[in-house]
Amino acid sequence: MSIENELKTQIAKLEAALASQQPQKQLQNLYQISQRLNKAHTEADLLQAFLPEIKEHGVFLASIFRVDLDATHHPEWAEIIAVWQKEGDPFTPLGIKIHLPEYPFYNLWFENPDETLCIVNMTQDERVDQNTQTFYVQLGLYATAVIPLVQTGRWVGLICLSWREPHTFGAAEMAIYNALITMVAPVVENRRLVTDLEKMVEARTTDLRQYERIVATSPNFIAVVDRDYIYRLANETYLKSHGLTEEQIIGHHAIDIIGQERFEKMAKSLIDRCFAGETVSYQTWLDLSNGRRFINIIYFPYYNDDNTITGIVINAQDITAQKEMEDEQARLQQEVIEAQQRAIQELSTPIIPIMEGIIVMPLIGSIDTLRAKDITRALLKGITQYRAQVVILDITGVPIVDSVVAAHLDKTIQAAKLKGTRPIITGITEAVAESIVDLGIDWGRIETLRDLQTGLRVALEGKK
C-alpha cells in the first residue's frame, strides 16, 4: 500500500471516529443545557443556560424575546427579556418592545413555528428586504438565526442569534438550535407566568399596604370583631379613644372593652343584627378617654372569600363638634323664633301713649283666646308703665265682634277697671253695633264711642 493510500485510510478512520463521537457530544451538550434551564430563576439565567454551546459557533449577539399576542392570537409585540453581546453595549437594549406589524421583516421570523430560520448572508438572501439589509449591515451583522419558541401551538417567544460575518450552519449546530425550540419555550412561558404573578402579588401587596395605612391613619374609630365578640383588629384612633394598647384590646371580649352593661343592653343586639347581614347605624354619647363625646357608629358585616359573615366592622366617627354646632344652631333658631313671636305679639297688641295718663291700644285682626290673653297682659303692663288713667281700646280693625270677642274684651275692660283706669271702646261701626245687638251682648255699662277721634276728645275733656 502506498503512503498516499495509507494517509487516506487513516483520515477516513479519524473522520469515522469523530462522527461516532459527535452524537454523544450533542447529547452531553443538551443535557447540560437542560440542567441549567432547570436551575434558571431569571430571564438572564435562561440565556446563560445555552450561551456556552452557541458561543462555540462564533455568535456575536444573542437575545431572547418574549412575544405578546393580539386578540386573534397572532404575534403583536416582542420584548427583549435577555441579551448578550460579545463586546460593547448591546445593539438592542434590554426591555425594548417592538411593535411587530410595523416591521415587515418580522413576518419572516414567524413564518415557521417548528423550524429555526437561518439567513447565511443577509446581503444576498432574497427573503430579506432592502431596508432590513441596510439596517443589519449598519450594525455590522451579516447572518442571523431565529429560533421559534412555541408552547402548545402558541407563540411565547424567540431566540435571535447574529454573526459579524456570513455564517454557514452545520448539522451539529442546527441540532442544538432545533432542540432549543422545545427546551426553552416552556421555561420562557413559565417565567412569564411567574413574572405576571409577581406583578399581581406586588400590586395586591401595595394595595393592602395602602389599605392598612388608610385604616391605621383614619380619624375614624375602626375595629373588627369576630362571631365570638372578640376584637381582631383596632386602628390607632380606636385604641386612643379607649385609652388602651393593642395588646389590651386585640384578642379580648367586647365586654372587657365597653363594659358588660353597655354590651348586654345595646351593643350585643346590634352586633347580632349585623351578623344576620344587616348594616346598623346609631348615634350616642359615650364616655371616652378624651371626655364625653357624641359618636356616630356604623356596624357592617365582614364577608369572607366564600361570602360568609365571619365578623363585623365597626366604623365610628366623633361628631361632637357637629352635634354641638347643631345644638347651638337650634338654640339660636329658637331664640329667633321667640324674638319674632315677641315682635309679632307687640305689633298685635301695641300700646300708644297719647299724653300723660292716656294710652291707646288699636286692635287689628281677629281675636282668639290666646291673643285675648296677650291683649289683657299688654294692656295691664301699659297701664302700669305709663300710669294711665284712661285707656282707649280701638276695635276699628277688628272685622268681627261676636260673643267670644265680646267676652274677651269684657274681661280686658274689667281688668283695666280693677287697675283704677277708665276704659273707652272706640271704632263701633254700624255693622259691629248691629252684631252686638243681634247677639244680645250687653255693653250698656261700658263706655263706647263711634271712632278713635271721638274717644280722644272725650278722654282729653275728662283730663281737664
pLDDT tens for 35-69 read: 888 888 888 888 898 999 889 899 999 999 999 99
Say if CB 390 and CB 459 are below 8 A apart. yes
| Pairing verdict, β 309-318 and 221-226 | antiparallel
- Cα gap 392→458, rounded to integer Å: 10
Of residues 461, 463, 459, 462, the one with CA closest to residue 393: 459
| Pairing verdict, β 358-364 and 143-151 | unpaired
- Other Cβ atoms less than 10 A from the Cβ of 460: the count is 13
On average, the pLDDT of the chain sits at 84
Percent of the chain with pLDDT over 70: 91
pLDDT tens across 279-318, in order?
999 898 988 888 899 989 999 999 988 889 999 999 999 8
CA distances to 70, 77, 130 from 100, rounded to whole Å, are 11, 6, 18
User: At residue 395, what is the residue type?
Assistant: I
- Position 289 scores a pLDDT of 86
- Cα gap 17→7, rounded to integer Å: 15
Please check the confidence at residue 1 and state whether its pLDDT lies above 50.
no
Please check the confidence at residue 189 and state whether its pLDDT lies above 80.
yes
- Cα gap 143→128, rounded to integer Å: 11
- Position 342 scores a pLDDT of 62
Please check the confidence at residue 131 and state whether its pLDDT lies above 90.
no
The C-alpha cell of 211 is what? 389599605
Element (H, E) at 404: helix 403-418
Please check the confidence at residue 322 and state whether its pLDDT lies above 80.
yes
**CA atoms within 13 A of residue 39's CA, in its CB half-sphere:** 9
Say if CB 222 and CB 234 are below 8 A apart. yes
- Other Cβ atoms less than 10 A from the Cβ of 290: the count is 11
- What is the sign of the dihedral through the CA atoms of 422, 423, 424 and 430? negative
User: At residue 343, what is the residue type?
Assistant: A
- What is the sign of the dihedral through the CA atoms of 30, 33, 39 and 44? negative
User: Which residue would you say has higher pLDDT here, 250 or 460?
Assistant: 250
pLDDT tens across 75-107, in order?
999 999 999 999 888 877 888 888 988 887 778
Residue that the C-alpha cell 469515522 belongs to: 16
Please check the confidence at residue 21 and state whether its pLDDT lies above 80.
no
CA angle, residues 185, 114, 159, in degrees to nearest 5: 45
Range in 2-11, 114-123, 174-183 the model is least confident about: 2-11
The full set of domains in the chain, from first to last, is 36-195 (3.30.450.40), 218-322 (3.30.450.20), 349-463 (3.30.750.24)
Q: Which residues contact 34 (CB under 8 A, 6 or more apart)?
A: 183
